[in-house]
Structures are given as C-alpha cells and as structure tokens.
Amino acid sequence: MRTKTALVTGLVTMTATILSTAPPSAVSHAAAAPASAHLAAGRPDGESGELWLARLLAGSTRGGDAWRHLRVLDRIAVRNGGVRAAGTPGFEASARYAAKVLTAAGYRVHRQQVPYTDYRVDAESATVTAPAARQVRALVMRFSPVTPPGGLDAHLVVPRAAAGDAAGCSAADYDGLPVAGSIVLVRRGSCGYTAQQRVAAGLGARAMLIYLATPSPNNIYRLHAFDPQAFTIPVASVTQAQAEQLARETAQHQVRLRLDLRGHGVAGATTNLFAETRGGDDRTVMAGAHLDSVTEAPGINDNAAAAAALMATALRLAPHQDKVRHKVRFALWGAEELIDVGSNYYVRNLPPAERAKIALYLNFELIAAPNGVRFVLDGDASDQPPGTPPGPAGSQVVEKVFKDYFDHAGLPYESHDLRAVGSDHEPFVAAGIPVGGLNGGVLGVKTAAQAARFGGTAGQLYDPCYHQPCDTIGNLDRRALGENVPAIAWAVGRFALDVSDLPAAGAQEQRP
C-alpha cells in the first residue's frame, strides 16, 4: 500500500516530467492555475487551434473534483442500506443529486424514463440437512426457474474435474455419479453456466449451485440468466469457500441440501439522465457512465467513480459550453447492471436522424479500481487475437486519442477488447457509432507483468470488492482516479472541438 508521502512524491515527479516534455495532450496539474485564470475569458493566453479546450479541461479537472461527488454518492449509499441499484431509493437519490449539480452548472438537463422488467427475490436459502445442519449463503440467479414453495431437498453431486476449467461442461464429467434427482455443484466453466445447467438438467438434476473461482474466495456474485428460456432448473450462486467445503464433504459421505430459490419478474422504471451543452452543432459528442449499482453493493468504484469523473468534467466545461463546436451530451445511465437497460432503451428509441448525429460515444467503467490496470478500449482490435472484430469505423481514432494522452503523460496502459467487458458502449457498437473509453478491470486477476507496470498485487483481482458490499469510498485508488480524470476531460475537450477525423454524419447508418 502506498503511503501519503510516496503518493505525493510520485505526483510531483510525474508533473515535472510532463512539464519538461511539454506535450500537447498532457497538461499537468501545475498548469491548471494559469489556465483557470482565464476561465471567464475563454481560451488561455497564447492558446490556439483545436486543442485549447482539451488542454484547459485536462489541466483543471482533478481527481479531487470527482472525489467531492464520490463522498456524496457514498453517503447516499450509506443512508439507503448500502445500495444504489436501479429501482431503489439509493439510485433515485443519486440521480437527483447529479441532476441538481448539472442544472446549477447551466446545462440543459433532462430525464428519460426507462421501463424494464426487474427480478424480485422471494426466497433464497440453502441449508445443509445432512450429515450436520448448517446454513449456506446462496444468491438466486435472476430469471432462473424457481423451486416449489418450501423448497426442494436432494443429495449433492459434484462433477469430476475436467481439463482446464470445464468441469460440468460435458455429460462425461458425471459418469457413474447419481445425478438424477440431485443438486449439482459446479465451478463456472469455460463453456458458460448456461451450458453447464443444460448438461446437468439433461441428466436429471433438480437444481444447480455455481461458484466463481477467484483469489477472493469469500466473494459471492449474483448471476443473470441472459436467455431465461434456456434454463429449466433453479440456479443459485455460492462462495468459492463454501463450495470447496461442500465438495470436500461430498467426497467423504453423502451431503443433502434443502434449497428454497424463488423470485418473479416485476415491471419497473429507471432514469437515464442527460446534460447537454447550450452550444454546438448537430455533431454530438457523447460521454457516459452508468449511475446504478448492483443490489448487493453500494457501487462506488462500479460505477460512481466514472459518473463522478464525468460530473467533474462537465463542471469544468460549463463556463465554455457556448464555445464548443460540437454539442456535448453527458449521459448517466440507469440499470446498466440489469444488462445495459438504460443505454439500450436510449439507442433503440432514437429516431434515425438523431442517431446519425452522434459522432462518437465514450464510456467509462471502474476507473479507480484498487488493484486495477488502465485498459483502453481497442477500437480497431489491432492488439487482440486474430479474428477479433473491430469496433465501428472511427473507433480507432478514439483509441488513439487516449493512447496519445497516456504516452505523453508517461502513464502505462493496455489495450482491451471492447467486447470483453459488457457495458453501455455495446448498444452504440451495435448501431455502428464509433466508441472508446477506459476501464480498470472487472473480474480479471493482475499478472506479475501488470503489477510491475501499474503497481498493486499480482495474483489478486483488479477489484476484490467488485459487486461486493465493500465497494465503498474506502475501496478506491485515489492515484488511479487522479490519473484517469484528466484523461477523460482531455478526450471530451478534444472531441468537443474536432470530430473531423471521424466518419461523416450519418455514415454509420450505412453499415450493414
């Protein structure tokens, strides 16, 4: 863990390096003072060309600006049971706060109501009934089938280990085991839990328990049935630690479990929040992050940190919103954790003419992960395995803007397949709109090479508190926040004045 002294020393060293090289896309925090002296007048003295706004925003937007909003969002979570999920008072309070801040800054702020089907849990319990009674924490999978009222009681079966992490992906993994009428326990495999459930159900299993193997064995993750029609038996997740204990016991004697896993779909509504500049033509630059958490966590790294960074950027841009060449639209999405509900609804309901005006979309996720890596979305897939599809035409331009910024700033980064992390950029990709952005890593494990480049601890999750109750403000890496916030501001400022190297308006509508 870095001490405060080491952090300050590192920032001073970085600032000195940036100033000495004087690159166009890396304005140090030390340069913010002269820039801020000219906020009222517009461009800083001596600035010209298309980068003046990017320089000004990157030089004046700090991690501390985002931190002020994060403190408020963290308090909102605390006051609302540690949750800011869509459809909860915590989310509504978060949206009201953001709307108030952005309206006071002079933006045109509007809400979009988004209908959706939520999943309400009625029961989720797992009890070992033999050989000795005890409770096991279980989280029912959203939209999976349910047990009968009162639950079901059955013996536990664990498939034999298969090559790699594919246990339970083949019927052969259960050869000789009494699967019919059982509850099966599997590690999430390379074939995916939908396929694992299909195999178990085909052999007569009555339910399935699943766990994710991570360096944080006490974590538990609520899973989602992406295709509910493919699931025919109830499914729930348990922690790795609990699963391994059950597996050891099953190897020694018969273990019986009682599962009560029930829930139902309910109609819900959430909010997308937008703030637009007064000025700018019809070529619209969009920058977004989701505002909601999962129902099991306060969601401060995931994803209040990115939402706060956009709010901080918007406030620095506010005095100049009449000077932008292209309209800037900030988006705080609702119900991303329910699989991009808000952003999908927005893109799907845009009239074709309005969709054609969006020059690009920037998306940000988990930008202050405590053990994170700085991932830049790979627009052209040039750093991905052969056959990886690229993003829409123009995405490589967005990627280069971020990489050039970090190269000049002397900050490390890695390219990341833009389809590897599901988030709100996906509907824009599907619509053929150029995309880009940053994320700090989700369920990946930091390698030794990454630890050498970025710091942190090899062999541990990028964010051990991802989707866990510990994702509070105390979970954040303030250095990562301080490095990423100016980069976000730079990209917004750069594209607010210049999208000439992106496809012409409406070009994405011609994509097949």
* CA–CA separation, 346 and 337 (whole Å): 15
- Going by the DSSP 8-state scheme, the letter that residue 266 receives in this structure is E
* CA–CA separation, 56 and 264 (whole Å): 50
Phi, psi of 96 (to 5 degrees): -65, -40
Q: Which residues are catalytic?
A: 336
Q: Are 192 and 184 in contact (CB under 8 A)?
A: no
* CA–CA separation, 437 and 310 (whole Å): 12
CA-based radius of gyration for the chain? 24
Name the nearest CA neighbour of 108 among 282, 258, 318.
318
Looking at the DSSP bridge assignments, the partners of residue 156 are: 183
* CA–CA separation, 263 and 276 (whole Å): 39
Name the nearest CA neighbour of 312 among 490, 74, 183, 52.
490
- Going by the DSSP 8-state scheme, the letter that residue 461 receives in this structure is B
Residue 89, preceding peptide bond in cis (omega within 30° of 0): no
- Going by the DSSP 8-state scheme, the letter that residue 388 receives in this structure is P
* CA–CA separation, 298 and 76 (whole Å): 9
Looking at the DSSP bridge assignments, the partners of residue 119 are: 265
For residue 261, give both structure tokens: 């896993």
- What stretches of 434-509 show up as alpha helix (H) in DSSP? 448-454, 478-497
Provide the pairing of β-strand 326-333 with 256-276. Answer: antiparallel
Mark residue 459 as left, alpha or beta (left: phi above 0; alpha: psi -120 to 50; beta: remaining).
Answer: left
Degrees, nearest 5: CA angle 265-269-274: 145
- Going by the DSSP 8-state scheme, the letter that residue 209 receives in this structure is E
For residue 279, give both structure tokens: 């000025």
| Number of alpha helices (DSSP H) and beta strands (DSSP E) in the chain | 14, 14
Q: Are 131 and 257 in contact (CB under 8 A)?
A: no
* DSSP-based three-state secondary structure for 102: helix
